[in-house]
Amino acid sequence: MEEEEAIRRSNALEKDDIEYLRDDILDEQYLFEGVKLTDAEEREMRYKKKIYELVKKRSEEDETQSEYRIPDAYDEEGHVNQEKRFAVSLQRYNLDSAGDKMNPFAEQEAWEEHQMGKASLKYGSKNKNQSNDYEYVFEDKIDFIRDSVIDGENLDELHSELPDKSKEKSALEMLQEERKTLPIYPYRDELLQAVNEYQVLVIVGETGSGKTTQIPQYLHEAGYTKQGKVGCTQPRRVAAMSVAARVSQEMGVKLGHEAHCTSEKTILKYMTDGMLLREILSEPNLESYSVLMVDEAHERTLSTDILFGLLKDLIKFRSDLKLLISSATLDAEKFSDYFGSAPIFKIPGRRYPVEIHYTKAPEADYIDAAIVTVLQIHVTQSPGDILVFLTGQEEIETADEILKHRTRGLGSKIAELIICPIYANLPTELQAKIFEPTPEGARKVVLATNIAETSLTIDGIKYVIDPGFSKVKSYNPRTGMESLLVHPISKASAMQRAGRSGRTGPGKCFRLYTLHNYHKDMDDNTVPEIQRTNLANVVLILKSLGIDDLVNFDFIDPPPEEALLKALELLFALSALNKLGELTKVGRRMAEFPLDPMLSKMIVASDKDKCSDEIITIAAMLSVGNSIFYRPKDKQVHADNARMNFHLGNVGDHIALLRVYNSWRECNYSTQWCYENYIQVRSMKRARDIRDQLEGLLERVEIEVTSNLNDLDAIKKAITSGFFPHSAKLQKNGSYWTVKHPQRVHIHPSSGLAQVLPRWVVYHELVLTTKEYMRQVTELKPEWLVEIAPHYYQLKDVEDPISKKMPRGAGRAKE
DNA sequence: GAGCACTGC
């Protein structure tokens, strides 16, 4: 009976299932060797082995090649470059596949060998492998070598000087007591003296030293706020807001008065770096400030880099302005050099030691390696949660599935493993799961993107698994194409990731690459954003500040000259600059909007077509990005159907976005409506915020808010006024050819027009993934191009040889 | 018929 059933089931097995099955057997044998199984468990195991043997035997008969899981392709712009991935792991992979060709059953043999090894390990050899230098976390698949320990800092204080909560104290007094326990407190007077003495100071302080909350308060206490505000910039909005809230609590004032926000009385202001940048536009000398602190400068955001250039110049004219640059250790010298050898002031952080482990040999499949490592930690290491860094949503979903599968069925034999995925596009309700405390006896494993590297901290993490990759946005100024590619992280990122394990106690970090990889294949620092992004917006801001010689602007790291020229070229085409490179009236109006120039131009142009109301909605929706539609893996069909409702009539993606927003507004910004239509509430709220802001700005540039919803052509024309450089023409084979700077592109499959293929389109952006895709596409009448941008398009550009052969409308699906 | 790290205005 059991035999027959096994044969029947083995016939139905897919390749993936076989791998799962084998993994199950291996897991089970490894994890529970020596543990007495119940009868049922033993039967189950016997049964699984039977199926596996049957499948194995059959595959031998078929003489099929055994398959090794190939590491994900590392795509480069336009092609796949395997070599560029960690060379060593590649080497190993090549060796393996060479072996494959000679022996199609290599994998099966390896499995048998493995089983043999198991038998001998049982009798004691396991322990012999362990020594102090080599810590074998598991002998099975991945060997780790303990390499170093990042020392903890300032720990005595942490234990001894906690505030005495036994005495009766007011909340404010308690907060004041707590302030004194921060690592920065003993350095207060020394720091103030240094600020007094030098105009620019580089402050090096680990997270947890209290620098962000305390330094502005110290400056206030020392009287700097009598001459002007103390401003402090953060790369992220949430950080700025939460710090402001904390500080106003400590100062015993209401948020928005003494700390943060805009009123006359504001003395401490926490803001994003982008906000300060825009403030310089209206107040070039920043007269209302006496001190500026650029926090988290090592993150090198686009705005931080621009601020550096502007502030370096500004302090020459404002000798009374104090500048503090706060950074993590690695970049401090560089900042100091840039600001004329400014002194560096070091503040210890509050961190526990972290042990760093490297793999002994490179791992070709890092997802698999990460999963194995999770299971090993779970079985062999003391309690504490695990954080795994992966590159994207898809990887996280895959890892989630495999982990669930592998732990299922183990039931009560191992402690519970709670799997929590986290990435930016995950709906908020699901994100909350990672902050729930782990129940007694269970262990939490967080599968995260880079979001966990800087943007959020999770308590209770003791183990970090770092495969060493992340997705990096890059920009090709020649083609104007953006791409999001998997790339090895920098050493600085690796340190940051490791540090995430030592926040609440001593931690361990398992790096799924070798020490050799770390030294040879990883850059010291991540390439700053300014060198891998579209600079159109930056150039417009600098131009409106009267900075004309951009090539010689004092960037701390200059962007590629080609990117600057491309940006100038675009601004000229949009009529924001004249032939002399001077800002025009249109350009001045555009600069008022905190958007990419093509979006700003679209808004400014909407005045003419009397559809500014619709256009600012579209601009807001486009700025939110591609996180409007929610498409869970198990409900893709429903989600796609819901999405197509907004595309009825093949109106194009821009109008579809407008319909989404208007429908949401009509039902009173209902959350329920979002759920029903597979729309992300969070993104919609953000779109609403941006839209409100844009509406306010319309008034400033004296554009009336007018609605022209019935004339879709007017709306499309306004879109074209901003995006005419992004036009493309259909080719016979269904691909498109961009009109200027010709290259082959395709409509992204998520577009409502992907099946429709209009002859002419205007697109929002080009992205390179598996192909060159246009994302957010709307149909266009070619004569508009000549009408709207006669300086850019001539009749010959839009003459359409196809149209002479095909009647109008051919090549399109029925509407 | 593909796939999207993060952030900001």
Predicted pLDDT of residue A356: 92
Residue nearest B3 (alpha carbon to C1'): A394
**Residue owning tokens 């008034």:** A699
CA of A157 to C1' of B3 (A): 48
Task: Count other Cβ atoms within 10 Å, centred on residue A34.
Answer: 5
For residue A42, what pLDDT is reported? 60
A333 has pLDDT over 60:
yes
Nucleotides of B under 7 A from a protein CB: 1-9
The neighbouring-strand residues paired with A736 are A730, A745
Say whether A145 sits in a helix, a strand or coil.
strand
Asked if A342 and A332 count as a contact pair (C-beta separation under 8 A), the reply is no
Nearest nucleotide to A599 (CA to C1') is B9
Q: Can you give the distance from the CA of residue A701 to the C1' of nucleotide B1 in angstroms?
A: 43
| The pair of three-digit structure tokens given for residue A327, joined into one six-digit string | 């950074």
Nearest nucleotide (CA of A734 to C1'):
B1
To the nearest 10 degrees (0 to 180), the angle between helices A211-221 and A237-251 is 50
Tokens for A91?
């080497």
Q: What is the pLDDT of residue A44?
A: 58
Measuring alpha carbon to C1', the residue closest to nucleotide B5 is: A471
| Nucleotide lying nearest to A629, CA to C1' measure | B4
**Which phi and psi (to 5°) does residue A745 adopt?**
-140, 170
Assign A176 a pLDDT band (cuts: 50, 70, 90). confident
pLDDT at A688: 93
Among A669, A675, A658, which residue's Cα sits nearest to residue A428? A675
Give, in Å, how far the C1' of B5 lies from the CA of A388. 14
Stretch A333-345: mean pLDDT, rounded?
92
Interatomic separation, CA of residue A27 and C1' of nucleotide B8, rounded (Å): 46
Q: What is the pLDDT of residue A14?
A: 47
Q: Give the three-class secondary structure for A433.
A: helix
Q: What is the pLDDT of residues A471-517, one digit of tens each?
A: 888 888 888 888 888 888 999 889 889 988 888 889 999 999 999 98
The C-alpha torsion from A663 through A667 and A672 to A675, rounded to 10°, is 0
Task: Identify nearest nucleotide to residue A596 by CA to C1′ distance.
Answer: B9
**pLDDT of res. A174:** 81
pLDDT in tens, A631-657: 877 788 888 888 999 999 999 999 999
Nucleotide minimizing C1' to CA distance for residue A754: B1
Which range in A25-34, A210-219, A239-248 is most confidently predicted, on average pLDDT?
A: A210-219
* Nearest residue for B6, CA–C1': A451
Find which nucleotide's C1' atom is closest to A278's CA.
B9
Which nucleotide is nearest to A450 if distance is taken from CA to C1'? Answer: B5
Q: Which residue is nearest to nucleotide B8 (CA to C1')?
A: A274
> Is residue A548's pLDDT more than 90?
no
CB neighbour burial string for A187-221, b if at least 16 within 10 angstroms, e if fewer: bbeebbebbeebbbbbbbbbbbbbbbbbbbbbbbe
Q: Helix (H, G, I), strand (E, B), or coil: what is residue A269?
A: strand
Angle between helices A2-12 and A39-62 (to 10 degrees): 50
Q: Output the distance from A756 CA to B4 C1' rounded to whole Å.
A: 23
Element (H, E) at A417: strand A417-422
Angle at which helices A393-407 and A366-380 pack, to 10 degrees?
Answer: 40
Which residue shows structure tokens 């986290």? A422
Count of other CB atoms within 10 angstroms of residue A567: 24
| Angle at CA of residue A337, ends A336 and A340, nearest 5° | 90
In this complex, which residue's CA is closest to the C1' atom of nucleotide B2? Answer: A749
Secondary structure class of A574 (helix, strand, coil): coil
User: How long is the CA A628 to C1' B8 vector, in angstroms?
Assistant: 18
Confidence band for A406, pLDDT divided at 50, 70 and 90: confident
Nearest partner of A379 among A23, A24, A133, A30, judged by Cα:
A30
**What's the CA gap between A397 and A381, in Å, rounded?**
25
What are residue A605's phi and psi, to 5 degrees?
-75, -20
Q: What is the longest distance spanned by two Cα atoms in chain A?
A: 91
Distance in Å from B8's C1' to A183's CA comes to: 31
A235 CA: nearest nucleotide by C1': B7
Q: What is residue A636's predicted lDDT score, i.e. its pLDDT?
A: 82
Higher pLDDT pick, A417 / A252: A417
Judge whether A31 and A24 are in contact, CB under 8 Å: no
Query: Average pLDDT, whole number, for chain A?
Result: 79
Edge-to-edge strands, sheet with A443-448: A144-150, A354-359, A507-511, A461-466, A385-389, A443-448, A417-422
Q: Euclidean distance between the first and final Cα of chain A, in Å?
A: 58
Position A103 scores a pLDDT of 35
pLDDT tens, residue by residue, A51-109: 555 555 544 444 333 322 222 333 333 333 333 333 323 322 233 333 333 333 333 33
Residue nearest to nucleotide B1 (CA to C1'): A749
- A124-148 per-position pLDDT tens digit: 233 333 333 333 334 356 778 887 7
Q: How far is the CA of A422 from the C1' of B7 (A)?
A: 17
**Cα atoms in the Cβ-side hemisphere of radius 13 Å centred on A561:** 3
pLDDT level of residue A810 (50, 70, 90 thresholds): very low
* Higher-confidence position of A702 and A238: A702
Range of lowest pLDDT (A3-12, A525-534, A602-611):
A3-12
Partners of residue A445 on adjacent β-strands: A386, A419
Q: Is the dihedral of CA A435, A436, A440, A446 positive or negative?
A: negative
Residue A243 pLDDT exceeds 80:
yes
Name the closest nucleotide to A472, judged by C1' and CA.
B5
Share of chain A above pLDDT 90, in %: 39
Top pLDDT among A134 and A773 is at A773
**Closest-approach nucleotide to residue A426, Cα vs C1':** B4
Distance, angstroms, CA A272 to C1' B8?
A: 8
Q: Which nucleotide C1' is nearest A625 CA?
A: B4
- Compute how many other C-beta atoms are within 10 angstroms of the C-beta atom of residue A120: 10
Rounded distance, CA A228 to CA A675, Å? 48
Which carries the bigger pLDDT value, residue A290 or residue A363? A290
Nearest protein residue, CA measured to C1' of B4? A626
3-state secondary structure (DSSP) of residue A773: strand
Model pLDDT, residue A301: 92
Burial of A288 (0-12, 13-18, 19+ CB in 10 A): middle
pLDDT of A413 strictly over 80: no
Which residues lie closer than 8 Å to A585 by C-beta, 6 or more apart? none
Span CA (A594) to C1' (B8), Å: 9
Range in A153-162, A317-326, A511-520 with the lowest mean pLDDT: A153-162
State which residue has its Cα closest to the C1' atom of B7: A236
> What residues form DSSP beta bridges with A777?
A763
The C1' atom of B3 and the CA atom of A481 lie apart, in whole Å, by 17
Pick the more confident residue, A192 or A258. A192
Q: In what order do the strands lie in the sheet with A322-327?
A: A268-272, A229-234, A289-294, A322-327, A200-205, A344-347
Interacting residues of A33 by C-beta distance below 8 A, sequence separation 6+: A118, A122
Cβ–Cβ < 8 Å for A197, A342: no
Distance A227 CA to B3 C1' (A): 53
Q: Do residues A428 and A468 lie in contact, with contact meaning Cβ atoms separated by under 8 Å?
A: no
Tell which wins on pLDDT, A412 or A678. Answer: A678
User: If you search the block for the tokens 């954080």, which residue do you land on?
Assistant: A387
Q: Where are the alpha helices (DSSP H) in A515-635?
A: 515-521, 536-544, 561-573, 585-591, 597-609, 612-624
pLDDT category, A3, cuts 50, 70, 90?
low
pTM: 0.77
Greatest mean pLDDT among A43-57, A59-73, A304-318, A364-378 lies in A304-318
Interatomic separation, CA of residue A724 and C1' of nucleotide B3, rounded (Å): 27
**Helix, strand, or coil (residue A129):** coil
- pLDDT above 80: residue A726: yes
Is residue A808 packed enough to be buried (19+ CB in 10 Å), middle (13-18) or exposed (0-12)? exposed
Give the per-residue pLDDT at A411. 65
Distance A698 CA to B9 C1' (A): 15
Contact between residue A332 and residue A204 where contact means Cβ atoms under 8 Å apart: yes
Digit-coded pLDDT (tens) for A251-302: 877 665 555 444 446 788 899 999 999 999 888 899 999 999 999 898 899 9
Helix axes A712-723, A653-666, angle to 10 degrees: 120
Tokens 């300086």 belong to residue: A791
What is the pLDDT, as a whole number, of residue A179? 85
Instruction: Name the percent of chain A lying above pLDDT 70.
Output: 76
Choose between A168 and A483: higher pLDDT: A483
Helix ranges, A381-456 (H): 393-407, 428-431, 451-454
